[in-house]
C-alpha cells in the first residue's frame, strides 16, 4: 500500500513536471512568435516590421534598416514620389517569403493596419537592387490608391518605368524581352508560376511592358504623360485607357505621329523593337543598336494578342510587304 501511494505521488509529480514543461515550451514559442510579429522599427514616418525567419535578429535588423534608410531617401526624394501624395504606409520585411523579391497587395497591412509593401529579407542585401525594388513596390501602392482597376500589364509597365525614372537603370527584364520578344503585351501575368520556362516567359512579358511604356514615355510627353497615366480618373483601363489618353493628349499637344492612338503606337513600337533605325526617333526603343531576336524562318505557332514575331523570308523574289535589310527580306507579323 505504501509503495502504491509513493508511485501515485510520483505520477502526480511527473504530471506536474510535464505540465510545467509544456507551459514553458508554449511560453518560449509565443515569445518568439510575438517577437517575429512585433519586431517593429521606424525610419522617419515609415513603420518597418520584420517577420518570418530571422525576424528577431536585432543586430542584423538594425544593419538592414540603415541600408533601407538611404534607399528610402533616394526613392522618396525623387520627383515622382515627392509630387504624388502617399497615404501613411509601411514596409514588411519577410525572412520566409520566397515567391518574388517583393510584392504589393491591397490586403497587405502593417500590424497598425496601414497599407504596406512586402520586401523579401534576402533581396535587401544589394543596395542598388533594394532602391529599384522599393521604387517598384511603392509605385504599386501609390497607383492602387488612384487606379485600382488598372490592367496588370499597365501596372507592371509603369512600375518598371518608375524604377528607371528613380534609379536611372532598367530592370533586367528589358533584355529578356529582346531575346524572347514574342510574348503578348497585354495578356495577364502568371505571377506565381514556379516552372523555369514560364518564369523566363513572365520576365520577357515584364520586359515587353517596360519597353512599351518607356517608348511611350520617351515619345509622347515624358513626365506629363506619366502623370496622366498614373493619376487619371478615367474609368477605362488597359488598351482602351491608353488609347483614350493618347487621343486626348494629341488634341492638346504636338507630339510624334505615333502618339495619336494605341494602335498606331503599338504597330510603330513593334517595328522599332525588331528593326530599329537611327532615325526617326520612333524607329528605336533604347537605341538603334538594341534589337529583338528575328527568327531565321517563319513558323506556324499562333501569335497571342498584341504580340509580334519577325522572321527572315527564304528565297523570296518579291519582298513586298516585307522589309529589305542588306539585300535580305524580312517580315513582321502582329497578333491581334
Please choose, out of 19-27, 71-79, 150-158, 232-240, the segment that lies near Zn ion by the rule CB under 5 A.
150-158
Residue with grid cell 504606409, as numbered in its chain: 89
C-alpha cell at 279: 532615325
Q: Is 133 in the site for Zn ion (CB under 5 A)?
A: no
**Is residue 294 a contact partner of residue 181, using CB atoms and an 8 Å limit?**
no
Give the relative orientation of helices 222-231 and 127-146 as an angle to the nearest 10 degrees. 60
Q: How many CA atoms lie less than 13 Å away from 136 in the CB half-sphere?
A: 22
Q: Is 151 in the site for Zn ion (CB under 5 A)?
A: no
Q: Given the complex with Zn ion, which of 135 and 272 has the nearer CB atom? A: 135
Alpha carbon distance 35, 57 (integer Å): 10
Identify the helix (H) or strand (E) that includes residue 61: helix 58-77
Q: Is 117 in the site for Zn ion (CB under 5 A)?
A: no
Considering the complex, what minimum distance in angstroms separates the CB of residue 181 from Zn ion? Answer: 20
Q: Given the complex with Zn ion, which of 159 and 229 has the nearer CB atom? A: 159
Considering the complex, what minimum distance in angstroms separates the CB of residue 103 from Zn ion? Answer: 7
Coil/strand/helix, residue 269: helix
Q: Is 203 in the site for Zn ion (CB under 5 A)?
A: no
Name which position in 124, 159, 229, 268 contacts Zn ion (CB under 5 A): 159
Considering the complex, what minimum distance in angstroms separates the CB of residue 156 from Zn ion? Answer: 5
C-alpha cell at 205: 512579358
**Is residue 105 a contact partner of residue 85, using CB atoms and an 8 Å limit?**
no
Considering the complex, what minimum distance in angstroms separates the CB of residue 288 from Zn ion? Answer: 29
Binding-residue total with Zn ion (CB under 5 A): 2
Alpha carbon distance 94, 39 (integer Å): 11
Backbone angles phi and psi of 117, in degrees to 5: -110, 150
Of residues 163-192, those binding Zn ion (CB under 5 A): none
Of residues 275-304, those binding Zn ion (CB under 5 A): none
Q: Is 64 in the site for Zn ion (CB under 5 A)?
A: no
Please choose, out of 47-55, 123-131, 159-167, 286-294, the segment that lies near Zn ion by the rule CB under 5 A.
159-167
Interface with Zn ion (CB under 5 A): 156, 159
Amino acid at each position: 500500500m505504501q509503495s502504491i501511494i509513493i508511485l501515485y505521488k510520483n505520477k502526480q509529480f511527473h504530471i506536474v513536471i510535464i505540465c510545467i514543461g509544456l507551459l514553458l515550451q508554449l511560453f518560449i514559442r509565443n515569445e518568439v512568435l510575438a517577437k517575429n510579429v512585433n519586431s517593429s522599427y521606424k525610419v522617419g514616418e515609415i513603420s518597418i516590421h520584420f517577420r518570418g525567419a530571422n525576424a528577431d535578429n536585432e543586430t542584423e535588423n538594425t544593419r538592414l534598416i540603415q541600408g533601407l534608410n538611404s534607399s528610402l531617401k533616394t526613392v522618396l526624394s525623387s520627383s515622382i514620389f515627392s509630387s504624388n501624395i502617399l497615404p501613411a504606409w509601411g514596409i514588411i520585411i519577410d525572412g520566409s517569403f520566397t515567391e518574388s523579391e517583393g510584392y504589393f497587395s491591397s490586403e497587405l497591412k502593417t500590424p497598425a493596419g496601414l497599407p504596406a509593401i512586402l520586401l523579401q529579407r534576402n533581396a535587401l542585401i544589394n543596395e542598388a537592387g533594394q532602391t529599384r525594388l522599393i521604387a517598384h513596390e511603392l509605385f504599386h501602392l501609390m497607383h492602387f490608391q488612384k487606379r485600382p482597376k488598372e490592367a496588370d500589364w499597365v501596372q507592371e509597365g509603369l512600375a518598371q518605368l518608375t524604377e528607371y525614372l528613380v534609379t536611372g537603370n532598367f530592370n533586367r527584364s528589358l533584355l529578356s524581352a529582346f531575346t524572347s520578344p514574342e510574348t503578348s503585351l497585354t495578356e495577364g501575368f502568371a505571377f506565381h508560376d514556379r516552372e523555369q520556362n514560364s518564369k523566363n516567359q513572365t520576365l520577357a512579358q515584364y520586359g515587353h511592358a517596360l519597353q512599351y511604356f518607356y517608348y511611350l514615355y520617351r515619345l509622347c510627353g515624358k513626365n506629363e504623360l506619366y502623370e496622366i497615366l498614373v493619376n487619371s480618373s478615367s474609368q477605362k483601363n488597359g488598351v482602351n485607357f491608353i488609347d483614350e489618353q493618347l487621343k486626348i493628349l494629341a488634341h492638346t499637344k504636338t507630339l510624334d505621329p505615333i502618339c495619336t492612338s494605341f494602335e498606331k503606337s503599338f504597330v510603330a513600337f513593334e517595328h522599332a523593337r525588331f528593326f530599329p533605325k537611327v532615325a526617326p526617333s520612333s524607329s528605336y526603343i533604347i537605341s538603334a543598336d538594341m534589337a529583338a531576336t528575328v527568327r531565321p524562318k517563319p513558323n506556324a505557332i499562333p501569335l497571342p494578342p498584341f504580340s509580334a514575331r519577325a522572321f527572315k523570308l527564304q528565297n523570296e523574289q518579291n519582298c513586298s510587304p516585307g522589309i529589305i535589310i542588306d539585300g535580305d527580306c524580312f517580315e513582321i507579323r502582329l497578333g491581334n
